[in-house]
Amino acid sequence: MNASGLFAPVIPERIIVTEYTIGYIVGSISSTSINRRLAKALEKVAPEGVTLKEIPIKDLPFYSPDHDGNFPEVATTFKTAIEDADGMIIVTPEYSRSIPGVLKNALDWSARPYGEASFNDKPTAVVGTSQGGIATAAGQQHLRAVLLHYNALVLGQPEGYIQSTPGLFEEDGTVTDEGTAEFLRSIIEALVTLVARTAPAEVPAA
Ligand SMILES: Cc1cc2nc3c(=O)[nH]c(=O)nc-3n(C[C@H](O)[C@H](O)[C@H](O)COP(=O)(O)O)c2cc1C
């Protein structure tokens, strides 16, 4: 059983046999974002061999199909960073039972030009925090639907519904509750397990 009360993933012992780079997107550009604190907390609790690296979205212009023939550099850099990562984590706030527009805009860039979705086949975990008990869960369900449309390999469990209470995450990402730190670590471990399981098999040269 995990903190979401449902299915705990089976994580083989010592699954981490190599170095993994996990990209993450924070779906908030607020200077006081609690989801950014959560992202920093994930960075802090990542197991040895796993490096978390932010892929920023704040400088992306609004997406329009007018860009399809000539993507701005900031957008190609964004797409390449997703494609180069072994796996992805999206840390999202809930806005009105969905995700913030800035995050949807970034995901629109990731999905275009048509046929070149950067999340295609990408192991991806979804997490988020909100002050209210259910808010982040509602937002994350929308996000999961979008990612599945891109054919991302969306991690089913654990579900990262974190209720933000005052002092739970310090500004530098320190998690003040060991149970929460352990739960966050288990999400990264489950994602890395998914990365390892879905890595293309190496075919020996003929
Ligand atoms: C446009 C908008 C809509 C929101 N809708 C909800 C909501 O429906 N339920 C809720 O609990 N919080 C809602 N919030 C509050 C956010 O979840 C809260 O501000 C949270 O701290 C945002 O995450 P951040 O601090 O990482 O930016 C909303 C905030 C905004 C700006």
| DSSP states of 136-199 | HHHHHHHHHHHHHHTT-EE--SS-EEEE--TTSB-TT--BS-HHHHHHHHHHHHHHHHHHHHHS
Cα 94 to ligand 1 centroid, rounded to whole Å: 5
Pocket test residue of 33, 37, 40, 94 for ligand 1, highest count of atoms within 8 A of CB:
94
Closest by Cα among 91, 84, 85 to 37: 91
pTM for the structure as a whole: 0.91
- For 38-60, write each residue's pLDDT tens digit: 999 999 999 999 999 999 999 99
Tell me the C-alpha distance between 185 and 121, whole Å. Answer: 23
| Residue 12 covered by a domain | no
Count of domains forming the chain: 1
What CATH number is attached to the domain comprising 34? 3.40.50.360
Q: Does ligand 1 lie within 6 Å of residue 94's CB atom? A: yes
Cα 95 to ligand 1 centroid, rounded to whole Å: 5
Interacting residues of 23 by C-beta distance below 8 A, sequence separation 6+:
52, 53, 54, 55, 81, 82, 84, 85, 87, 88, 89
Cα 29 to ligand 1 centroid, rounded to whole Å: 12
Average pLDDT estimate for 139-148: 97
Res. 133: pLDDT tops 80: no
| Domain of residue 132, residue span | 20-63+73-198
Q: Does ligand 1 lie within 6 Å of residue 35's CB atom? A: yes
Residue whose tokens read 């994580």: 11
Give the confidence band of 134 by pLDDT, cuts at 50, 70, 90.
Answer: confident
Average pLDDT estimate for 92-104: 96
How many CB atoms neighbour CB 128 within 10 A? 29
| Residue 139 covered by a domain | yes
| Residue 24 covered by a domain | yes
Pocket test residue of 29, 36, 96, 140 for ligand 1, highest count of atoms within 8 A of CB:
96
Q: Does ligand 1 lie within 6 Å of residue 193's CB atom? A: no
| Residue 206 covered by a domain | no
Closest by Cα among 81, 158, 83, 82 to 125: 158
Q: Does ligand 1 lie within 6 Å of residue 103's CB atom? A: no
